[in-house]
Chain A
Amino acid sequence: MGDFDRAISFWGHHIIMVCVWLTLTLSLNLINGFCGLFSLGHQGFWAVGAYAAAVTVVHFPGGGWPALLLSFPVAIGAAAFFGFLVGLPCLRLKGDYLAIATLGFSEILRNLIQNSETLGQSLGMSFPNIIRLSVSERRSFYLIYIALALIVVFATLLILRNLIHSAHGRAIQAIRDDDRVAELLGVNLTRYKVLVFVTGAAFAGLAGALFANYNAQVTPDDFSFNVGVLMVVMVVLGGMGSFTGTIVATTLLYFVPILLSLWLPQTLVPVFYDPTQGGVVYRELKELWQVLFSLLLIGVVLVRPRGIMGGRELRWPWRKAVAPGGSHGCPRN
């Protein structure tokens, strides 16, 4: 394997995975940031999408490319349906209660998957990687899949941005600021809260299909509570109600641990003193990336309590600040 092949399977993998994460966090920001509904269950919708895609690829008669192409709409539809199922009963819940209910949903779902024989229980589902099998070279697979992943992220960003910059987006943000007043100005709360859940879930489903078809394997552990927490951290750190903030924070939080483990030198550092272990205890510096990661998080939150971007968006310097008819989150700090 040449240098290029090695590089592309390492970085290609991470580029595809960061695209999966971006699709997840951008859509989570619609729910948590723009509409102010604090969901901790996004990994559940992601799981629905991933398993729906897996089931389609495995069980669609004939398999192959038709199954692959079909798996994306099926994943989106299945996740959107679950978004509707969760969104409707959760309408009356706010804040912590909504967070617990959505977390409950995703954990119940994971337990159901873990006990379902059709879905492979704890071992999950493995299936042929249709794109990989249809190209001869590894590098072609990565290039195709990177392109697909980037298209998915750009489509997600464009659709969500256009939604937010419309009358519907204003209604969604009004609900975040004061839902009672929004309702008295004619905003149908039921309609918009369900819409937000369904849309957010649909994009999580899309991320699920993107992930499943790349990995050719899905297991319940891929969608654990920790994953959901990391998504929320990315959204909060980037700034609730800022798409560019979400992009910056997601990319940063995804790559920092990887770069730390890559670049930290091989050296022992003293960590703590324990007489039972013979005095000062040393650890490999690479093993301590999580400590550095935590310090970084604490630092950002101390310096910028409303997230890296607050409610603002990064703009291309050559573009005027307000797009025609655009409604924009205003600076908060």
Chain B
Amino acid sequence: MPPKLRSEPILTARDIGKSFGGLTAVADFTVELMENEIAGLIGPNGAGKTTVFNLLTGVYKPDVGSIELRGKNLLPLSPDRVTASGMARTFQNIRLFKEMTVLENVKVGFQTHVKSGLFTSVIRGPKFRSEEKAIDAQARELLELFGLGEDAENPSRNLPYGKQRKLEIARALATRPRVLLLDEPAAGMNESESAALKDLLLQIREQFKLSLLVIEHHMPFVMGLVSRLMVLDHGVTIAQGTPLEIRGNQAVIEAYLGKDHA
């Protein structure tokens, strides 16, 4: 069932590092994400996982290192250009556009693909109308896929928590990414919900030809999803390997539980 991994890396970050003042948030972080791969990023609170996401998506510029997406250097690009190059993300603390409807949230994701200029939009030309229609149809399709079809016209802030998380993923998919970064997608979900989410993620990987990098603490969720795990602690990558290897890794156990318990 899992597709054969092609050996080509789609996202390559080499030795990236970032300090804030004197504090090193991330040091010498390296990742090669293969096409169609799902990799995981774990680590205790404050390990620098979200900072890695912010570095990859251009929110912060790394002090050192290089980032390439499909052979394209991402370092000089602003976040919106990074997204246009094919990388999208979700957020640990859900950040929907609260005053907009569920449908509009997803439509914003199509921004990089909009071709109607200002003038065409203001005079509502035929090109504008057909494009809006297409965006509407595609956005609704995405919502259906995530079981949000019924909620399309509701304000996004009225959604229950689990659906808000799903909407974030749907919105990110609207940018038509090749690489999707998910920041704790299963946070706050119960066992059955997170199992369903896992299946959904495996499904969208096939459907949209995605590679995923997932931050998640929930071990049963991670174990069944990812082929490879990286463990961060205090900004340093302390271990890498298959989920099974990581489970028995002494350094990882120490990072999570402290030396006395290891």
Could you tell me which A residues sit within 8 Å of B by CB distance?
159, 162-163, 166-168, 170-171, 173-174, 176-178, 180-189, 195, 241, 311, 322, 324-325, 327-332
A331 with B107, Cβ < 8 A, contacts A167-B132, A176-B99 known: no
Contact status B97-A173, CB under 8 Å: yes
Could you tell me which B residues sit within 8 Å of A by CB distance?
57, 59, 78-80, 83-84, 88-89, 91, 95-101, 104, 107-112, 114, 116, 118, 121-124, 128-129, 131-133, 135-136, 153-155, 171-172, 174-175
Contact status B129-A324, CB under 8 Å: yes
CB contacts (< 8 Å) of B98 on chain A: these are: 177-178
A166 with B128, Cβ < 8 A, contacts A185-B109, A331-B155 known: yes
Shortest 7 CB-CB distances between A and B: which pairs? A325-B132, A186-B112, A166-B121, A177-B97, A167-B114, A186-B111, A330-B155
Contact status A168-B121, CB under 8 Å: yes
Query: When the two chains form the complex, which single residue of A163, A174, A195, A332 contacts B97, counting CB atoms closer than 8 Å?
Result: A174
**Which of A171, A180, A186 counts the most chain B CB atoms within 10 A?**
A186
Residue pairs across A and B with Cβ atoms less than 8 A apart, 21 shown, are A159-B122, A162-B124, A166-B116, A168-B121, A173-B100, A174-B108, A177-B98, A183-B80, A185-B109, A185-B171, A186-B80, A186-B83, A186-B84, A186-B109, A186-B112, A186-B175, A311-B99, A325-B129, A330-B99, A330-B100, A331-B155
The distance from the CB of A65 to the nearest CB of chain B, in whole angstroms, is: 28
CB contacts (< 8 Å) of A180 on chain B: these are: 59, 79, 95
Contact status B153-A162, CB under 8 Å: no
Contact status B99-A322, CB under 8 Å: no
CB contacts (< 8 Å) of B172 on chain A: these are: 185
Contact status A170-B118, CB under 8 Å: no
CB contacts (< 8 Å) of A325 on chain B: these are: 128-129, 132-133, 135-136
A184 with B59, Cβ < 8 A, contacts A159-B122, A163-B122, A173-B97 known: yes
**Which of B109, B154, B174 counts the most chain A CB atoms within 10 A?**
B109
CB contacts (< 8 Å) of A241 on chain B: these are: 99
CA gap between A168 and B118 in the complex, in Å? 7
CA gap between A159 and B123 in the complex, in Å? 8
Additional pairs, 17, CB under 8 Å, beyond known A180-B79, A327-B100: A162-B124, A163-B121, A167-B110, A167-B131, A168-B121, A174-B97, A184-B59, A184-B80, A185-B80, A185-B174, A311-B99, A325-B135, A327-B104, A329-B100, A330-B101, A330-B154, A332-B99
Query: When the two chains form the complex, which single residue of B80, B83, B110, B116 contacts A189, counting CB atoms closer than 8 Å?
Result: B80
The distance from the CB of B173 to the nearest CB of chain A, in whole angstroms, is: 11
Contact status A322-B83, CB under 8 Å: no
Query: When the two chains form the complex, which single residue of B83, B100, B133 contacts A174, counting CB atoms closer than 8 Å?
Result: B100
CB contacts (< 8 Å) of A195 on chain B: these are: 118
The distance from the CB of B228 to the nearest CB of chain A, in whole angstroms, is: 25
CA gap between A195 and B119 in the complex, in Å? 13
Query: When the two chains form the complex, which single residue of A167, A168, A177, A189 contacts B99, counting CB atoms closer than 8 Å?
Result: A177
**Which of B95, B131, B172 counts the most chain A CB atoms within 10 A?**
B95
**Which of B80, B84, B91, B172 counts the most chain A CB atoms within 10 A?**
B80
The distance from the CB of B144 to the nearest CB of chain A, in whole angstroms, is: 18
Query: When the two chains form the complex, which single residue of A177, A184, A324 contacts B133, counting CB atoms closer than 8 Å?
Result: A324
Chain A residue at smallest Cβ distance from B133 = A325
Chain B residue at smallest Cβ distance from A177 = B97
Contact status A167-B80, CB under 8 Å: no
Query: When the two chains form the complex, which single residue of B91, B109, B114, B122 contacts A162, counting CB atoms closer than 8 Å?
Result: B122
Chain A residue at smallest Cβ distance from B85 = A186
CB contacts (< 8 Å) of B175 on chain A: these are: 185-186
The distance from the CB of A274 to the nearest CB of chain B, in whole angstroms, is: 49
Chain B residue at smallest Cβ distance from A166 = B121
CA gap between A292 and B55 in the complex, in Å? 56
Contact status B79-A184, CB under 8 Å: yes
CA gap between A177 and B112 in the complex, in Å? 18
CA gap between A167 and B110 in the complex, in Å? 8
Contact status B57-A170, CB under 8 Å: no
The distance from the CB of B215 to the nearest CB of chain A, in whole angstroms, is: 15
CB contacts (< 8 Å) of B109 on chain A: these are: 185-186
Contact status B91-A181, CB under 8 Å: yes
CA gap between A180 and B96 in the complex, in Å? 11
**Which of A162, A168, A311, A325 counts the most chain B CB atoms within 10 A?**
A325
The distance from the CB of B86 to the nearest CB of chain A, in whole angstroms, is: 11
CA gap between A27 and B100 in the complex, in Å? 21
CB contacts (< 8 Å) of B96 on chain A: these are: 177
The distance from the CB of B50 to the nearest CB of chain A, in whole angstroms, is: 13
Contact status B80-A329, CB under 8 Å: no
The distance from the CB of A163 to the nearest CB of chain B, in whole angstroms, is: 6
The distance from the CB of A38 to the nearest CB of chain B, in whole angstroms, is: 16
CB contacts (< 8 Å) of A177 on chain B: these are: 96-100
CA gap between A176 and B98 in the complex, in Å? 10
